[in-house]
Amino acid sequence: METVKPLLIIRTAWLSGIVAMCVVLLSSGVFTAASAQNIAGQAQIEKTFPHSSKCKRCHERVYEEWETSPLAKSIHSPAFRASLDAYLNSSMGKDKALCFRCHAPHVREFSEHAQLFIDQTKTGDPSMDGVACSQCHLIKQVDRAKHPPEPKYEIGGKTLYGPYKDFVQNLAHQSMESSLFEKSDLCLNCHQSVPSLTNLGKTNDLLGSWDQSRSVKAGKECQSCHMPQQVGESANGEKKRKIANHSFPGRIGKLRQEAAKVDLQTKIDGEKTTILVKVQSLVPHNLPATHPAWAAVVLHVDIKGKNLKTVFSDKRVYGRTYLDAQGQKTIFDFEAVKVAEDTVLKPEETREETFTFPTPKDTKTFDVDVALSYAPLDGPASFLQRVEAESSQGSQDPVFQPIEIVKRTENIPIRK
């Protein structure tokens, strides 16, 4: 009997929480049949996919890393809530589970509770997980024959999967080594295809020809960059060893500074100056990955003359422009039926851009500032206002700010 005490404690705490929630709702007079159904539904879901807070008790370091990651905000972000509303209010919104197949993939096992996922998301502070521990570590295999690839979950048992042979035996769950956790296949369900690409007859175009890249041919997987190895403990008190980082660096985090580099050449020809900028993508997938559909990377060129006054500015935008069924531009994947323009940087591609401008006058030198950044959120005014209203930070939400990838500045002498 001694070995089951931790599980009994967890089960008792979980049941106590459900009872407490019912008491609060009853006392407030808002307890309805729908409330009871939602509570029962959430209890059933979390029995199958334990909440990340339970994992934190033994895996505190991993939890703290994950908590800072974009995955932890998969159903929390204002932009997702606003986009979800737009989808549900559209003619395409009949499949209520569609968005959650990536943003809370365990909906696949509980499609009858899709409305619960919606209701939780709309609160702005859902008590349910989106993409957390269970949503990955219960994956037993991935069916690559499906488009997008489909995860197969191990449910009804107590086995969690991971990449390590020397896992520590414990009383909370069984562990099993799986090579899947060191392969890109694990990530493809959510990061290879989105609704727009399916509508357009494309199933492998979100990342581009990533599997043909030099990086992949050299043996790199998604985890090589987005779950880099570090030394630490996976579980509290465990012997330190090489383990994977769970903050999932990418657009957010220092990893983006390794995503590209820029070089420039300046040619002054009398009153005309030409700058050739080479933008080299260093990643084995499209830059940017084009979901959400407003995702873009922008190359800004600024020329500063006398007294550092800006005398010329120009830019290039790398992304996709989608059209809806009426031929109008749309930022929503679910509305896209046609690609109007595609300037995405392909895997490991080098793009050359030429900028021509009048040679700055009344100065012996001028500065060239070149910056490559992820673009801030863009779209219809009504959508942007909705995102701003949904965010606790309002217009200061990071989603409205550019995120610098790389910057280059040169001072150019003018020889006469």
Q: Is 52 left (phi over 0), alpha (psi -120 to 50) or beta?
A: alpha
Mean of the per-residue pLDDT values of the chain: 88
Do residues 147 and 75 touch, judged by C-beta distance below 8 A? no
Among the listed residues 176, 138, 140, the one whose alpha carbon sits nearest the alpha carbon of residue 46? 138
CA pair distance 12, 368, nearest whole angstrom: 65
For the chain, 416 residues long, give each residue's pLDDT as a single digit of tens: 333 344 444 444 444 444 444 444 444 555 566 677 778 889 999 999 999 999 999 999 999 999 999 999 999 999 999 999 999 999 888 999 999 999 999 999 999 999 999 999 999 889 999 999 999 999 999 998 887 789 999 888 889 999 988 777 787 889 999 999 999 999 988 887 666 566 676 655 788 899 999 999 999 999 999 999 999 988 888 888 899 999 999 988 889 999 999 999 999 999 999 999 999 999 999 999 888 889 999 999 999 999 999 999 999 999 999 999 999 999 998 898 889 999 999 999 999 999 999 999 999 999 999 999 999 999 999 999 999 999 999 999 999 999 999 999 999 999 86
227 with 273, same domain?
A: no
> What sign results for the dihedral spanned by CA atoms 350, 373, 245, 120?
negative
Same domain (yes/no): 36, 156: yes
Residue 210 lies in a domain: no
d(CA 130, CA 105): 7
In a domain, 20, yes or no: no
Domain that holds residue 130: 32-183+221-244
Q: What is the pLDDT of residues 8-34, one digit of tens each?
A: 444 444 444 444 444 444 445 555 666
Catalogue the long-range contacts made by 163-168 (C-beta closer than 8 Å, 24 or more residues apart).
163/244, 164/234, 164/243, 166/241, 168/234, 168/235, 168/238
The per-residue pLDDT for 24 is 45
CATH for 261: 2.60.40.2360
In a domain, 133, yes or no: yes
C-alpha 357/C-alpha 251 separation (Å) is 32
Helix (H) or strand (E) holding 266: strand 260-269
Residues 325 and 229 both lie in one domain: no
Angle at CA 320, nearest 5°, toward 317 and 324?
A: 135
Q: Provide the number of structural domains found in the chain.
A: 2
Same domain, 43 and 124: yes
Nearest-angstrom CA–CA distance, 79 and 64: 23
Asked if the structure places residue 399 within a domain, the reply is yes
Three-state secondary structure call for residue 297: strand
Digit-coded pLDDT (tens) for 196-227? 566 676 655 788 899 999 999 999 999 999 99
Q: 3 in a domain, yes or no?
A: no
pLDDT value, residue 415: 82
